[in-house]
């Protein structure tokens, strides 16, 4: 499958649709998942065109890993999470639904089940509050 330049994450990168941005550098962008499985669920993407892990060059992959590690620490601190789940899916059979490489950072809490990653979108004001907590933990 060829990279779709009109996928939702490409549109976020190009400023064509809004997102609640948590962090940005020259190689990566991190923003709140609009259908979070847990409060603080954050996504990290490369700024390069890469459909999945197999399409991702190593430099971009290293940048995503650096940003993911930094964000995971901040998310855990900001939400007092007992653990952090990192997910990355490749292909529809694996659960990938947006075909731009991305990493999910999901805070986990003992005894609290994850919400379904369904069509229920979180209120933007809630996502903004959560992003502010993560940004503060990054400083």
Crossing angle of helices 124-138 and 58-79, rounded to 10°: 100
Does residue 83 form part of some domain?
yes
pLDDT of 70 reads 98
Asked about 41 being catalytic, the answer comes back as no
Q: What value does the CA radius of gyration of the chain take, rounded to a whole number of Å?
A: 14
For residue 133, the cross-strand partners are: none
What is the count of structural domains for the chain? Answer: 1
pLDDT of 38 reads 96
Q: What CATH number does the domain containing 48 carry? A: 3.30.428.10
Determine the Cα–Cα distance for residues 136 and 139; give it in Å rounded to an integer. 5
Which residues touch 80 (CB under 8 Å, ≥6 apart)?
A: none
Does residue 118 form part of some domain?
no
Does residue 94 form part of some domain?
yes
Domain with 51, as residue range(s), is: 8-112+125-138
Q: Mean pLDDT of residues grouped by 10 in the chain (139 residues)?
A: 92 97 98 97 98 97 98 98 98 96 98 87 97 97
Catalytic residue among 14, 41, 100, 102: 102
Determine the Cα–Cα distance for residues 41 and 108; give it in Å rounded to an integer. 10
Does residue 55 form part of some domain?
yes
Does residue 61 form part of some domain?
yes
Does residue 117 form part of some domain?
no
pLDDT of 134 reads 98
Question: Which token pair is 40?
Answer: 């603080």
Does residue 51 form part of some domain?
yes
């Amino acid at each position: 499958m060829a990279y779709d330049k009109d996928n939702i994450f490409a549109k976020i990168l190009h400023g064509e649709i809004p997102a609640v941005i948590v962090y940005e550098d020259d190689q990566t962008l991190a923003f709140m998942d609009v259908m979070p499985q847990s409060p603080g669920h954050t996504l990290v993407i490369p700024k390069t065109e890469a459909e999945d892990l197999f399409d991702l060059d190593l430099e971009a992959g290293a940048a995503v890993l650096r940003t993911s590690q930094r964000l995971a620490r901040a998310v855990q601190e900001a939400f007092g999470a007992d653990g952090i789940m990192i997910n990355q899916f490749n292909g529809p059979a694996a659960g990938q639904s947006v075909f731009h490489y991305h990493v999910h950072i999901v805070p986990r809490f003992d005894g609290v089940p994850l919400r379904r990653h369904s069509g229920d979108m979180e209120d933007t004001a809630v996502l903004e509050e959560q992003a502010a907590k993560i940004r503060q933990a990054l400083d």
